[in-house]
Structure 1
Amino acid sequence: MAGLVGIVGAMLWREFDSGRAAAGWIQHTYEVLDASRRLQLLVREAETGQRGFLLTGREDYLRPYEDALGQITLLQGDLRRLTADNPVQQERMLALAATIQRKLEEMAQAIRLRRDLGLEAAQQLMQADLGRTLMRSIETMLDGLEAEENQLLGQRIADAEATQRRARWLAAVGTVLSIALLLLAGRMLGLARKRLMAAEAAQRRLAQQLTTSLDSISQGIGVFDAEGRLQRWNACFPVLLALAETDLRHGQPYADIAGRAAAAARTDAFLETEAQIRHGRGGRSPREPVVYERHRATDGRSLELHRTPMPDGGFVLTMTDITERVRAAATARDAQRMHAMGQLTGGIAHDFNNLLAVILGNLELIRPKLDPGSPLLVRIDRAIWGARRGASLTQQLLAFARKQPLAPAPIDVSALLPDMANLLRRTLGSHIEVRVVDAAGLWPAMADATQMESALLNLALNARDAMPEGGRLTIEVANKVLDADYAARHVEVTPGDYVMLAVSDTGTGMPPEVLERVFEPFFTTKEPGKGTGLGLAMVFGFVKQSGGHVKVYSEPGEGTTVRIYLPRALAGATGGLRPVAPAALPSGDAAVLLLEDDAKVREVTAAMLRELGYRVQEAGDGAEALRLVEAGASVDLLLADIVLSGGMKGNEAARRLAPLRPGLRVLFMSGYTENAIVHHGRLDDGVHLIGKPFTREQLALKIAEVLGQPASGQAQGVATPAAPPGG
């Protein structure tokens, strides 16, 4: 459209130019006609003055003649100039000039004759009619010139009118197009204005979205210019710096913000210094991104800070709260450390239990052979006590290592609390007040009842030692739900329902450095000889093996609270049975195949079996046991160690012997199962196990149970005392 208007404008301009040219030529024609008429008049005036002089002889009649002579010459020059563009008129002008010259000469001759010879001489010249003939020729030539110019005038007037018509048409078209262009331009400007307004609104929305997005993220972001002045920041920026919103302002120097952050953290420097930003850190270029961490002791928060340079010389400071990540990493490291220590203690228990089995077995074989009054009985009893104490220590080690076989079942913790409270009051002494806080509608817990009571006893004993001057021990139970947020902050915690058992004391409490190592085996703050450092380690292992969680809260001078979270049982709880001592040891004459790779353990165990009346055959490995059975040996019971040398474990030997002796009873013995018959802390269904080291009574009762030969007076609920596994 604009191009079309431009073309029309150019055409209109050309027509206007043509019109001006046509008007000029019309004016030119009028000038030619005017000059022609004036020339004709001047010639006539010259002739009239000349005749007046001829008739009167008076000189004053020659004044018009003389005036006309000068003007005639000038007008001839003007006509030649005005008709210079027309060759035809130029030819006329040449002829006209010659004729006028002859006419002027004829008049001048007549005037001379009148002056010199008189009137008659002049009349004779005039009677020759030369002057009249020349005058007619002049008039004829001038009439032809005027006719030619009038013809040109008509043509030029017609051309000018045509040009004006075209100009008016083009002006009208140009006007219409201009109006249309203006309307179109107005429409386009309106659309452009709408688009501009829409773009501005979109920019505002985008800015609001970006601001909202920056304010919604949990990271703190601050933008600084090349001079180190704060330009923009989000809502989390002052929060993570522990500053108030009023502490920050636009254009604030970085050094001022760094100083305020250091004051909030109560340290000399919290953020980088301006020198570090300007010159780089550790030999690095100041244009390289920098990542560093800071810990604020005032609120215990850990921050990760990223400084990212910008092309204009400024930088962006981004802060991320990594407190939970740091805590989770520390918890994970603790868990890995505890797992490694558990692996170590499990391996130690394997060999240690075999040694204890040999010692305890031989002592129990010797004791019945001594006279009742023998002074050696005291020594033997002390040795037996020491061996059993060693067995208890290995049991605690395996509990920490989560290697002890558990028999979890639904437990009504509330039902066990009264008996446990009475036991604790007798055990702890009168200077310790025992208080029980029960909960109505307590869920049943899924755990091994014996191990749970042992864990509670260990916690109570530790609490007693922390209150040498007396105090209060509080046992509290409650239903607890550990949600996903709690599980995210604590490694190895599965969200769900738990039964919480808390033991609190009013003792001395523990500082943070002691609290960090409280579950390590053999770590103790007690005096030498007053503690093994295995009590809390056993509690930790038992709870973790049961799928639970344990948390310790303590402050120096305020006391300690240990909270145990045991998984909620879906089935109903049982009251649990306590062991009842048998009236007499069961015995029998069944054939027992003893499979044990340790010769000394095999020797003492075989001696115990024979004293109980059983027929015993011995094998040092699985292959030897298979050969004996294949050779026709009579076997009613396989008593097999779990961990054997020679590549075949006890459970594998039992599996291969079963087809050879249908109905074969199997009793495993071990102090370290290596997950052969224990999975997820539970003994496999239908599997019988006796832990090393065991006494003769424990062995007799367990064999009778497996063979289905209960001793007289034995209650059906007799439980084999839990002993640490070990091969």
Structure 2
Amino acid sequence: MPTTKPDRSLIALVAGFAALAITVLAAIALVQQQQRAFTRVTHTLRVENQLSLILARVQGAESGQRGFILTGNDGYLEPYHIAAARLPGDLAALRALVADNPDQAAAAKRLSVAALTRQDALSRTLAVYYGGDETGVRMRFRQGQGKAAMDDLRQIVGGMQATEARLQQARADTARRWASAVVAALAASTVAILAVGLLAFRDARRRLALAVQTGEALGAANNRLMAEAAHREVAESQVRQMQKMEAVGQLTGGIAHDFNNMLAIVIGSLDIAKRRLATDPARVAVCLDNALDGAQRAAELTGRLLAFSRQQPLAPRVLDANRLVSGMSDMLRRTVGEHLKVETVLAAGLWNTSADASQLENAILNLCVNGRDAMPRGGRLTLETRNADLDDAYASAHPDVTPGQYVMISVTDTGVGMPAEVVARAFDPFYTTKGVGRGTGLGLSQVYGFVKQSGGHIRIDSEPGAGTTVELYLPRSQAAAATPGPIVPAPVVSPRAVDGEVVLLVEDETSVRRVSVEALRDLGYTVVHAPDGARALIALDAQPRVDLLFTDIVMPDMNGRELADETLRRRPEVKVLYTTGYTRNAIVHDGMLDAGVAFLPKPFTFSQLATKVRQVLDGAGANRA
């Protein structure tokens, strides 16, 4: 198989990226140089303005002094007093501006001496005037010292202004040269980007063709291995590896298949809705409902995958399995239909267990639906509970079991049953024996993941024609089960904000943040939002009232848990509600949601958001990190 072309392509691609990086860095350097050049031009203008201000101060003082002596009107002395008060500061500012230029700094010192000397001469003339010596004042005027001093001062200012003018011209020329260089660098960057993009595209096509060839070669090799496996015992490890790859392929293929179907619903429905928006708005709602249904199915698929991989956040509590199963009886009978008989066999003195009640209900419902599908002509579905002690002997035969006491919940059907090879793969994701469109193959894998994440054990007992029993073993809890509260019906209208409540929303994904902000504002909340933890803390300090911190968990630099900890340190009264599509152990440890934590998993609906925010603000959720 040839390797020269891909190697050359890789070298060219690396070289292209290197050239692009150099071009971008050069452009950045040029921009910085351009900024420095413009800063120097601005500096020159400031020096010229300061020189003009100083000259005007001295001239104003001199004119005011002469006007006062000639008229005796104190109003003429105002420029003189202003110059006396501000001239030292103006001169100091000028010296600071030109400190980096030795020639201008020396000129500024001479100017300071001349200006202050002239100001002092004006003061002495006024003193003579106030002393009543009009002859002395006239003598001082006739000597012409004032004119000579002002001529010297103007000469110094003119020299400095001329120097600054030359510097300004040179700096302006430099700034224009840097601007031209920046434009050239940006053009070069554009060319480099296009070149790298072309190289990357050509390399991707080449690698795709190579991957196809490699796949065909691997397929042929696998076929040869399978043909030889029956004749060579040493091929057993290769066969097992192929089975693993098949499972991964089935998993990825199933995910791609189901997600593509759901995305087809979402994209197709939204496309039709967009087309009908102007011509047939009455039918747009149907398309949007279809798109929402597809998106919700995709969210359910993600939840099932998280359950299988044991990464869904669980909120376990001590519960009585008998009470839970009894409470599900009516719902199960409606679900499985009237053609099936549903029985419950509940053990007396059943131990308590600790599990996520809603996930356990979903697991039992999944098993009952599977049982129903196995009995198309009717039959009996039996739910049973009992105490179980899995000893060392059982644990040695099942390496994934920890010896101990468990609460067992089983679902038995009188359906067609399963052969041993189907039982062996029953928990594989996307593996199903049902017809097309009748199942995703994720039901049992979701149950398996939930039970394992809860520290339990699951087993299947089935034979063709003899029905199937699935047993769930959940660890015993020594604590007392809480008495369930009354069932509160879901609100018909989404609960809204009360008394101008303020929500600080923190979400690093722009589109998700925008949707969440709009939803909360539609519910009447005042929303302050930020893209990360650092800016959220700035907003928190600037906002006098914050009732709820609604934050994503997975964010760069500062995650949601760290942000909540700092928020509660500054504002202990603020309630906290977390959200994420994947927790990464920020608020979930050993698969369990931390106690006292309020959590709303993504994706969520408008109604779910409204209900959860209201619960947390009303105290039904947590206000701790």
- TM category (shorter chain) comes to 0.5 to 0.7
| Rounded Cα–Cα distance in structure 1 between residues aligned with 2:287 and 2:488 | 28
User: Is 2:339 the partner of 1:428?
Assistant: no
| Rounded Cα–Cα distance in structure 2 between residues aligned with 1:629 and 1:604 | 21
Deviation at 1:623, TM superposition (A): 2.4
Q: Give a deviation string over 1:118-144, Cα, whole Å, max 9, x none.
A: xxxxxxxxxxxxxxxxxxxxxxxxxxx
8 Å CA contact 1:641, 1:668 repeated in 2: yes
8 Å CA contact 1:415, 1:575 repeated in 2: no
Q: Give a deviation string over 1:328-349, Cα, whole Å, max 9, x none.
A: xx9xx99x9999999999x99x
Say if 1:523 and 1:426 are closer, same or farther in 2 by CA, change over 3 A: same
Partner of 2:518: 607
AA aligned to 1:518 is A
Deviation at 1:698, TM superposition (A): 1.4
SS in 2 for 1:616: strand
- Of the three residues 671, 676, 679, the one matched with 2:586 is 676
Say if 1:396 and 1:442 are closer, same or farther in 2 by CA, change over 3 A: same
Partner of 1:626: 537
Matches within 5 A, 1:557-568: 557-568=465-476
Say if 1:411 and 1:660 are closer, same or farther in 2 by CA, change over 3 A: closer
| Rounded Cα–Cα distance in structure 1 between residues aligned with 2:316 and 2:252 | 25
8 Å CA contact 1:341, 1:401 repeated in 2: no
| Rounded Cα–Cα distance in structure 2 between residues aligned with 1:590 and 1:647 | 28
AA aligned to 2:467 is G
User: Is 2:374 the partner of 1:466?
Assistant: yes
Partner of 1:653: 563
Deviation at 1:386, TM superposition (A): 2.3
Say if 1:448 and 1:338 are closer, same or farther in 2 by CA, change over 3 A: farther
| Rounded Cα–Cα distance in structure 1 between residues aligned with 2:349 and 2:249 | 39
| Rounded Cα–Cα distance in structure 1 between residues aligned with 2:425 and 2:594 | 34
Say if 1:662 and 1:434 are closer, same or farther in 2 by CA, change over 3 A: closer
User: Is 2:504 the partner of 1:593?
Assistant: yes
- Of the three residues 318, 342, 350, the one matched with 1:410 is 318
Deviation at 1:535, TM superposition (A): 0.7
Deviation at 1:608, TM superposition (A): 0.1
8 Å CA contact 1:658, 1:664 repeated in 2: yes
Say if 1:576 and 1:402 are closer, same or farther in 2 by CA, change over 3 A: farther
| Rounded Cα–Cα distance in structure 2 between residues aligned with 1:684 and 1:343 | 30
Say if 1:575 and 1:432 are closer, same or farther in 2 by CA, change over 3 A: farther
8 Å CA contact 1:412, 1:575 repeated in 2: no
| Rounded Cα–Cα distance in structure 2 between residues aligned with 1:675 and 1:571 | 26
User: Is 2:424 the partner of 1:516?
Assistant: yes
AA aligned to 1:374 is A
| Rounded Cα–Cα distance in structure 1 between residues aligned with 2:249 and 2:325 | 32
- Of the three residues 459, 474, 486, the one matched with 1:551 is 459
Partner of 1:384: 292
AA aligned to 2:571 is R
| Rounded Cα–Cα distance in structure 2 between residues aligned with 1:642 and 1:465 | 40
| Rounded Cα–Cα distance in structure 2 between residues aligned with 1:337 and 1:648 | 38
Q: Give a deviation string over 1:27-46, Cα, whole Å, max 9, x none.
A: xxxxxxxxxxxxxxxxxxxx
AA aligned to 1:505 is D
Say if 1:632 and 1:343 are closer, same or farther in 2 by CA, change over 3 A: farther
Matches within 5 A, 1:60-459: 374-459=282-367
Say if 1:500 and 1:338 are closer, same or farther in 2 by CA, change over 3 A: farther
- Of the three residues 493, 496, 502, the one matched with 2:401 is 493
AA aligned to 1:621 is D
SS in 2 for 1:375: helix
Partner of 1:581: 490
SS in 1 for 2:477: coil
SS in 1 for 2:570: coil
| Rounded Cα–Cα distance in structure 1 between residues aligned with 2:300 and 2:328 | 20
CA RMSD of aligned residues (A): 4.0
| Rounded Cα–Cα distance in structure 2 between residues aligned with 1:537 and 1:452 | 14
Say if 1:341 and 1:674 are closer, same or farther in 2 by CA, change over 3 A: farther
Deviation at 1:518, TM superposition (A): 1.0
Partner of 1:541: 449
Partner of 1:695: 605
8 Å CA contact 1:677, 1:684 repeated in 2: yes
| Rounded Cα–Cα distance in structure 2 between residues aligned with 1:339 and 1:683 | 30
Say if 1:454 and 1:337 are closer, same or farther in 2 by CA, change over 3 A: farther
- Of the two, which has the highest radius of gyration? 1
SS in 1 for 2:551: strand
Q: Give a deviation string over 1:220-266, Cα, whole Å, max 9, x none.
A: xxxxxxxxxxxxxxxxxxxxxxxxxxxxxxxxxxxxxxxxxxxxxxx
8 Å CA contact 1:342, 1:402 repeated in 2: no
Identity %: 49
User: Is 2:596 the partner of 1:686?
Assistant: yes
AA aligned to 1:619 is A
| Rounded Cα–Cα distance in structure 2 between residues aligned with 1:445 and 1:342 | 35
Deviation at 1:451, TM superposition (A): 1.2
Normalized per residue, the structure richer in helix is: 2
| Rounded Cα–Cα distance in structure 2 between residues aligned with 1:595 and 1:452 | 32
Partner of 1:74: none
| Rounded Cα–Cα distance in structure 2 between residues aligned with 1:449 and 1:613 | 32
- Of the three residues 554, 569, 572, the one matched with 1:662 is 572
| Rounded Cα–Cα distance in structure 2 between residues aligned with 1:486 and 1:500 | 15
Say if 1:339 and 1:544 are closer, same or farther in 2 by CA, change over 3 A: farther
Partner of 1:263: none
| Rounded Cα–Cα distance in structure 1 between residues aligned with 2:426 and 2:590 | 25
Q: Which runs of 5+ in 2 are unaligned?
A: 1-231
| Rounded Cα–Cα distance in structure 1 between residues aligned with 2:248 and 2:566 | 34
- TM-score scaled by length of structure 2: 0.54
Say if 1:339 and 1:654 are closer, same or farther in 2 by CA, change over 3 A: farther
8 Å CA contact 1:433, 1:473 repeated in 2: yes
Deviation at 1:483, TM superposition (A): 0.9
8 Å CA contact 1:638, 1:667 repeated in 2: yes
Say if 1:632 and 1:573 are closer, same or farther in 2 by CA, change over 3 A: closer
| Rounded Cα–Cα distance in structure 1 between residues aligned with 2:560 and 2:479 | 33
8 Å CA contact 2:250, 2:430 repeated in 1: no
- Of the three residues 528, 533, 551, the one matched with 1:640 is 551
Deviation at 1:631, TM superposition (A): 4.6
User: Is 2:475 the partner of 1:475?
Assistant: no
8 Å CA contact 1:403, 1:681 repeated in 2: yes
| Rounded Cα–Cα distance in structure 2 between residues aligned with 1:551 and 1:447 | 18
Say if 1:581 and 1:413 are closer, same or farther in 2 by CA, change over 3 A: same
